[in-house]
């Protein structure tokens, strides 16, 4: 019977090479793809992930990041990276889930596309050890791209994997990975994509959320990638959709207690107000911001419908100036 492993599978080049190296040895690889809470409307992305798994002949499992993401983002034990990315905690959390899947699938080990020294936070040599230890996977976590530089894992010691056929890549360069992909004709996502939390714009939103709403929920995290965000009062966040697909998406996240804003008599974005303490000043300011982003913008007058707890009121307002919007933008 061939050896079996679960491989974390982002669709990035490193994860694809890790799977390919193992498949080349005849190992059964189950590719495990995690979907971040703020990755919405990504059917097309998932279709690509499926095609990447197919090119490798790997069975694919798709796992949605759940509510536990919220607690992690509130208080990561190992802190944040350059922006709002709690990468070490995130890897540990995901690997704990992967360990459960490994048991359920009867796999013998877990593989990742991690490369020693490639990422400043989660792929330093000491971080790799911390992650492995805290995920309860000592000896069971194989990094095929850097295996030659690391202590042999149980799978290598027991000859489930031929260590000699694995790689010894380290550092931030991608020359060797690109050469490998070209040699075997492997497609992957471009490196620039990736997780929203590693981006400066998201960091500002997370910092704002933690400061103004320490009890933020999973829904608040899901909203991080949607629309333009504004801080109106200390507790009020206002989100304006940027286009038609975001209008539909934002509508799905309107919870009981939230305020919904729609232009009246003109095409425009949907707005979502959260944490509004029923004060007229905040509501009208949200209306004014919404009108600023209306397609048929009128600088002197606009009407906005505000719906809260199944009751709608129409406000007649003057759109906010660009400077007013900028001053509240997160």
Segment near ligand SF4 (CB under 6 A), from 45-53, 83-91, 143-151, 304-312?
A: 83-91
Q: Specify the residue, 39 or 324, whose C-beta has the smaller distance to ligand SF4.
A: 39
Of the residues 16, 32, 169, 197, which one makes contact with ligand SF4 according to CB under 6 A: 197
- Residue placing its CB nearer to ligand SF4 in the complex, 85 or 222: 85
Return the number of the residue (195 or 254) whose C-beta is nearest ligand SF4. 195
Site for ligand SF4 contains 135 (CB under 6 A): no
Residue 149 DSSP SS3: helix
91 makes contact with ligand SF4 (CB under 6 A): yes
Whichever of 32 and 197 has its CB closer to ligand SF4, that residue is: 197
Binding to ligand SF4, residues 26-45 (CB under 6 A): 36
- Of 140-148, 194-202, 213-221, 238-246, which segment contacts ligand SF4 by CB under 6 A? 194-202
Cβ–Cβ under 8 Å, residues 253 and 300: no
Closer to ligand SF4 by CB, 152 or 194: give it: 194
Task: Identify which of residues 15 and 170 has a Cβ nearer to ligand SF4 in the complex.
Answer: 15
> How far is Cα 127 from Cα 142, in angstroms, rounded to an integer?
15
Maximum C-alpha span of the chain = 75
CB of 3 or CB of 122, closer to ligand SF4: 122
Alpha helices per DSSP H over the chain:
13-23, 43-56, 68-74, 87-105, 125-134, 154-157, 175-184, 200-212, 218-222, 244-252, 280-292, 322-328
Q: At what angle do helices 175-184 and 13-23 cross, to 10 degrees?
A: 50
303 binds ligand SF4 per the rule CB under 6 A: no
Residue whose CB is less far from ligand SF4, 5 or 90: 90
Q: Tell which one of 85, 146, 282, 284 touches ligand SF4 (CB under 6 A).
A: 85
Is 20 a binding residue for ligand SF4 by CB under 6 A? The answer is: no
Candidates 25, 55, 198, 235; binder of ligand SF4 (CB under 6 A) is: 198
One residue of 16, 90, 203, 209 binding ligand SF4 per CB under 6 A: 90
- What is the strand order of the sheet 259-264 is part of? 228-231, 237-240, 271-274, 259-264, 302-308, 311-317
Q: Answer yes or no whether residue 288 interacts with ligand SF4 by CB under 6 A.
A: no
CB 91 → ligand SF4: shortest distance, Å?
Answer: 5
Nearest residue (CB) to ligand SF4, 118 versus 122: 122
| SS3 (DSSP) at 5 | strand
On whether the CB atoms of residues 273 and 229 are closer than 8 A, the answer is no
Distance, in Å, from the CA atom of 9 to the CA atom of 52, rounded to the nearest integer, reads 9
Structure tokens at 19: 């799977």
Under 8 Å between Cβ of 245 and 93: no
- 42 Cβ neighbours under 8 A, 6+ residues apart: 35
Closest among 119, 118, 126 to 176, alpha carbons compared: 118
Under the binding rule (CB under 6 A), the answer on residue 87 touching ligand SF4 is yes
Helices marked H in 6-67:
13-23, 43-56
Per-residue mark of binding to ligand SF4, 114-133 (x: CB under 6 A): --------x-----------
The count of C-alpha atoms lying within 13 angstroms of the C-alpha of 101, restricted to the half-sphere facing its C-beta, is 23
State yes or no: residue 195 binds ligand SF4 (CB under 6 A).
Answer: yes
Q: Which residues bind ligand SF4 (CB under 6 A)?
A: 36, 85-87, 90-91, 122, 195, 197-198
């Amino acid at each position: 019977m061939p050896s079996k492993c679960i491989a974390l599978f982002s669709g990035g080049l490193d994860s694809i090479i890790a799977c390919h190296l193992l498949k080349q040895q005849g190992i059964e690889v189950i590719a495990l793809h995690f979907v971040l809470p703020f990755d919405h409307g990504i059917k097309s992305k998932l279709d690509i992930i499926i095609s990447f798994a197919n090119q490798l002949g790997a069975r694919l499992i798709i796992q949605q990041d759940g509510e536990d993401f919220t607690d992690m983002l509130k208080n990561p034990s190992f802190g944040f990276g350059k922006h709002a990315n709690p990468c070490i905690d995130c890897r540990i959390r995901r690997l704990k889930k992967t360990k459960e899947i490994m048991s359920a699938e009867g796999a013998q080990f877990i593989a990742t596309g991690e490369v020693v020294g490639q990422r400043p936070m989660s792929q330093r040599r000491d971080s790799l050890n911390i992650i492995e230890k805290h995920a309860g996977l000592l000896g069971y976590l194989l990094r095929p791209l850097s295996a030659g530089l690391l202590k042999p894992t149980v799978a290598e010691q027991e000859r489930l994997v031929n260590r000699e056929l694995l790689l010894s890549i380290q550092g931030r360069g991608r020359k060797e990975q690109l050469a490998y992909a070209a040699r075997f004709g492997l497609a992957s996502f471009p490196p620039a994509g990736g997780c929203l939390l590693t981006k400066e714009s998201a960091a500002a939103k997370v910092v704002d959320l933690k400061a103004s709403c320490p009890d933020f929920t999973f829904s608040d995290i899901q909203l991080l990638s949607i629309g333009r965000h504004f801080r109106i009062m200390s507790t009020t966040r206002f989100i304006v959709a940027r286009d038609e697909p975001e209008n539909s998406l934002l509508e799905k996240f309107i919870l009981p207690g939230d305020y919904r804003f729609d232009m009246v008599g003109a095409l425009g974005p949907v707005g979502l107000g959260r944490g509004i303490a029923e004060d007229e000043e905040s509501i009208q300011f949200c209306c004014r911001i919404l009108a600023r982003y209306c397609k048929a913008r009128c600088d002197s007058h606009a009407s906005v419908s505000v719906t809260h707890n199944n009751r709608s009121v129409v406000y007649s307002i003057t759109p906010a100036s660009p400077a007013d919007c900028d001053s509240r933008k997160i």
